[in-house]
Chain A
Amino acid sequence: MTAALEYRRAPARYLTARGATSTRLGSRLSGVLASNVAPLRLVSRGRQPAPDGGWARLRPLLAGICGSDLGMLTGRSSPYLFPVVSMPFVPGHEIVAETLDETPDLPKGSRVVVDPVLACAARGVPACRWCEVGQHSRCDRVTTGRIAAGLQTGFCADTGGGWSRTMVAHATQLHPVPDRLDNERAVLVEPLACAIHSVRRVDIPPGASVLIVGAGTVGLLTLLALRELTPAGATYLVAKYGHQRARARELGATEVFDPARAPRAMRRATGGSLEHPVFGAEYLLGGVDFAFECSGSSSGLDAALRLVRAGGTVLLSGMPSGTVDLTPVWFRQLRLVGSYASDGGGAPQDGQPSDFATAVSLAGDAPLSGYVDAVYPLTRWREAIGHAIGAGRLGTVKVAFDPTRD
């Protein structure tokens, strides 16, 4: 038997959390709601058997709590995703683990990070058109094959997830961790790979201005990726909290703004004029060339759409929630680009290393010390979830579970 946090099917609880957090008061009480209403529980379950065909058992050493996990627990995640998950599942897709079985490329006891996407190779089905070209984040077959439906590890009933003491993963999902990366940095590799993927989703010309909305893990790592991998010019970031502003400056942000000041500050920085609708937020005629929405909130996307220039690009990096007025997309003729997961396990595209390989390399050199500064055992999951929901306010970037601790 092994301990795991299990998310089970409970439509009433999902709807209750969704309804409550959609109100202003409920939104403020997200931490309490997520840890008490969400259908998550600590269970003892039988050890996860490894399916045939290149699968290995893992012992998670550290597993991060991601914004998409919190979206699920607070009921904010979209019902659109229901068909591509299978319940009950063990959450946790930002994983650094130790292998308990040997794989063709890795000996038993290797320290690995997991690319969570459960694509054709893991499912034992012929490669779809996307997996054939190394873009497995777009895999069309995430509901078929030898394992249950699940877009990722952490949302699939058959694989387990990082919020447990054991789980399984396919050999193609595993990336060895160099010794110079400690567990705290290694657990950031998956979100960093996602950030790298997002900046590679658009072709950023030299000197282009970029705005990042949101300064949680996704926002900060996107800033790092932009600075390291693109010729972007001035890069602005919208951050709510002082520690986020300090970290953003350390990562090379040109300027960092409070959300309330962002429209005026962006107008000052990029020119143009600021328009004030009778109802709703102000917007720019002018603005940045690219906006990366990294908050996963409807207000963040709304801000991004209002602050990008005509013909500019808004990239959705955070998992979207809520509804947004899309009039700017029409009126300003914007490009709306999605970015999901990473293409870390596939073939290198255009000669560049995969997102995961690049992430492993970057994570070792970037100033990411202290990003994982709140680690909880599984038994204290309620505190951990509450902490993760209030992370920005509490001065934390990433909250993680250490399933090896009691």
Chain B
Amino acid sequence: MSRPGFVLEVDERTPSLLVNEGDGFRLERFPLGTRVVYPPDVLPGLRDVNGAIRRALFNPVGSDPLPTLLFPGMRLTIVFDDISIPLPQMQTPDIRQRIIEQVLELAAEAGVDDVELVAANALHRRMTPTELKRAVGERVYRAFFPDHLRNHDAEDPDRLVHLGHTNQGEDVEINRRAAESDLIVYVNVTLTAMSGGPKSVSVGLASYRSLRHHHNVHTLRHSRSFNDPPNSAMHHSYDRMADVLGEHVKIFTIETTLNNEAFPSHVGFMNKREWEWSLLDQASYLSFKRANDMTPPKLRREVWQRSYAPYGVTGVHAGDPAVVHPLTLANVHRQQLTEVDGPSDIGIWGLPFICPYNVNSIMNPILVMSLGLGYFFNLYRGQPIVRRGGVAIFYHPMPNAFHPVHHPSYIDFFDEVLAATTDPAAIEAKYEQQFATDPWYIHLYRNSYAYHGVHPFYMWYWGAHALEHVGDVIFVGANRKAAARMGFRSASTLADALEMASDTVGSSPRLTYLHAPPLTLADVR
């Protein structure tokens, strides 16, 4: 039985606590009285994952068993989450591979010949052949790539179809092959509560025309948080779109959840509470940190990117997306949810080396912003861990570096747009269309491995709620120039950051540190 999450109050006996800071980490001594939010212990993974998948396919919820939905002559499209999830990437065999192999076996038994596999990458960069192979496994890759295993192309008008509008007038436009299939089987990995459910198809296979209805400043500011679907305007929009989708195409979804086992055994201390570190853990911390600090930045990034997580699978549920997703969310909460008593004056987050958009790539300053003020700030239910007008403190070195192939529009967004304004609404009004329709960005999205031109805007909007909520944002250890360009301040140490924050919250603030690693969802009452 895993121990539940809890909130530690720092006292004289509390050791220094682990804090992520990009592709590094540190032990930080927090002021007395700081609240530290820990998630539940790592849940045990399923012993027989393949068996669990088979049971889910044969005993789905809200749907007939998958074999009964398959018939000769049908068009079957298997859609799977792209490389943006899980984070870090999981050790092989990838859960997507396990599921797809079983679905394909059932399809073959049913005599289904017309099968296509599509990565639900929306406006993300295309997955490379190597990345596709890693996700679906060599056997599937060899059989289907390149003609029947491909990335979704949100800018190919011939491969998109407009299915209609929601009752709020939102366009629903998705991948034509999927929409015109007799059945979509969606293979999902849910790491945080924002993923899965109605989001899978309505976002993963959508076009900009459709995505702009929920990926915008207004919606993001009214998603409190986007990790709490009932209170997320973004998810309400997904739900409306899912209703339209449901009228046109049958979707059988398989959702999986993972535990918090995000690091291999040689850095096992990452997942332990600090006062429970053994001598071996302490030694491995010291040696790993020393080696990590001495490693040249490029090599260090490479090492971290190749650190594959030995996740355990905590649940596999299949069937009707609307019925499956609550079960998935319950599993996520079981692993991540910790109750917190009210917000504090200052919220503190340590940001890791990876986010959904820098897998095998570079974490540029805009992604750091999105990871901190978007993903981590929104790891809450109820209310944020920091009060309105409080201060958000993040740890990240924020190097002023961009991947020229993956993030070309990010470079222009950083140099041109953020030099003019950092106000999300002003940015949206003046620049979004320019970037979204820029032929060069579209060309690179379709033919190279670039994120869509509009993607950096979405990253900025991701932080719109936090920008509106907090009074000040300070990054510890960040490149000053990069932080200043985005309107943030940088501090050398936590003490400096607290000194800077005293202008906003006084000299005796209440502090809450959302401990990461591993992932924690704060249920703030």
Binding site for B on A (CB under 8 A): 261, 264-265, 267-268, 271-274, 276
Contacts across chains A and B counted by CB atoms under 8 Å: 21
Tell me which residues across on chain B come within 8 A of A261, comparing CB atoms: 415
Asked if residues A264 and B412 are in contact (CB atoms below 8 Å), the reply is yes
Which of B404, B415, B439, B440 sits near A265, CB closer than 8 Å? Answer: B415
Tell me which residues across on chain A come within 8 A of B404, comparing CB atoms: 276
Asked if residues A264 and B411 are in contact (CB atoms below 8 Å), the reply is yes
Tell me which residues across on chain B come within 8 A of A273, comparing CB atoms: 439-440, 443
Asked if residues B443 and A265 are in contact (CB atoms below 8 Å), the reply is no
Interface residues on B, range: 10 to 19
Closest to A282 in B: B404
Tell me which residues across on chain A come within 8 A of B440, comparing CB atoms: 267, 271-274
Tell me which residues across on chain A come within 8 A of B415, comparing CB atoms: 261, 264-265
Which of A265, A271, A274 sits near B416, CB closer than 8 Å? Answer: A265
B515 vs chain A, min Cβ distance (A): 40
- Residues of chain B from 429 to 454 with CB closer than 8 A to chain A in the complex: 438-440, 443
| A-B residue pairs, 7 tightest by C-beta | A273-B440, A261-B415, A268-B412, A264-B412, A268-B416, A264-B411, A273-B443
Known contacts A268-B412, A271-B438, A271-B440; 11 further A-B pairs (Cβ under 8 A): A261-B415, A264-B411, A264-B412, A265-B416, A267-B440, A268-B416, A272-B440, A273-B439, A273-B440, A274-B408, A276-B404
Contact sample, A vs B, 7 pairs, CB 8 Å cutoff? A264-B411, A265-B415, A268-B412, A268-B416, A268-B438, A271-B440, A273-B443
A303 vs chain B, min Cβ distance (A): 17
Give CA–CA (A271, B441) in the complex, Å.
Answer: 10
A279 vs chain B, min Cβ distance (A): 15
Give CA–CA (A272, B440) in the complex, Å.
Answer: 6
Give CA–CA (A276, B439) in the complex, Å.
Answer: 17
Tell me which residues across on chain B come within 8 A of A274, comparing CB atoms: 408, 440
Describe B's contact surface by its main secondary structure. Answer: helix
Closest to B434 in A: A268
Closest to A268 in B: B412
Give CA–CA (A25, B217) in the complex, Å.
Answer: 50
B384-419 vs A, Cβ < 8 Å mask (1 yes, 0 no): 000000000000000000001000100110011000
Give CA–CA (A265, B408) in the complex, Å.
Answer: 12
Closest to B439 in A: A271
Closest to B440 in A: A273
Tell me which residues across on chain A come within 8 A of B411, comparing CB atoms: 264
Closest to B443 in A: A273
Tell me which residues across on chain A come within 8 A of B438, comparing CB atoms: 268, 271
Give CA–CA (A267, B404) in the complex, Å.
Answer: 15
Tell me which residues across on chain A come within 8 A of B412, comparing CB atoms: 264-265, 268
Identify the interface centre among A261, A264, A268, A273: most chain B CB within 10 Å of its CB. A268
Give CA–CA (A265, B412) in the complex, Å.
Answer: 7
Closest to B405 in A: A276
B471 vs chain A, min Cβ distance (A): 31
Give CA–CA (A211, B439) in the complex, Å.
Answer: 22
Tell me which residues across on chain B come within 8 A of A271, comparing CB atoms: 438-440
Closest to A272 in B: B440
B420 vs chain A, min Cβ distance (A): 11
- Residues of chain B from 441 to 469 with CB closer than 8 A to chain A in the complex: 443
A276 vs chain B, min Cβ distance (A): 7
Closest to B404 in A: A276
Give CA–CA (A54, B44) in the complex, Å.
Answer: 103
Tell me which residues across on chain B come within 8 A of A265, comparing CB atoms: 412, 415-416
Tell me which residues across on chain A come within 8 A of B443, comparing CB atoms: 273
Closest to A255 in B: B416
A240 vs chain B, min Cβ distance (A): 16
Give CA–CA (A276, B403) in the complex, Å.
Answer: 13
Closest to B435 in A: A268
Give CA–CA (A274, B411) in the complex, Å.
Answer: 13
Give CA–CA (A264, B412) in the complex, Å.
Answer: 7
A300 vs chain B, min Cβ distance (A): 21
Closest to A265 in B: B416
A245 vs chain B, min Cβ distance (A): 12
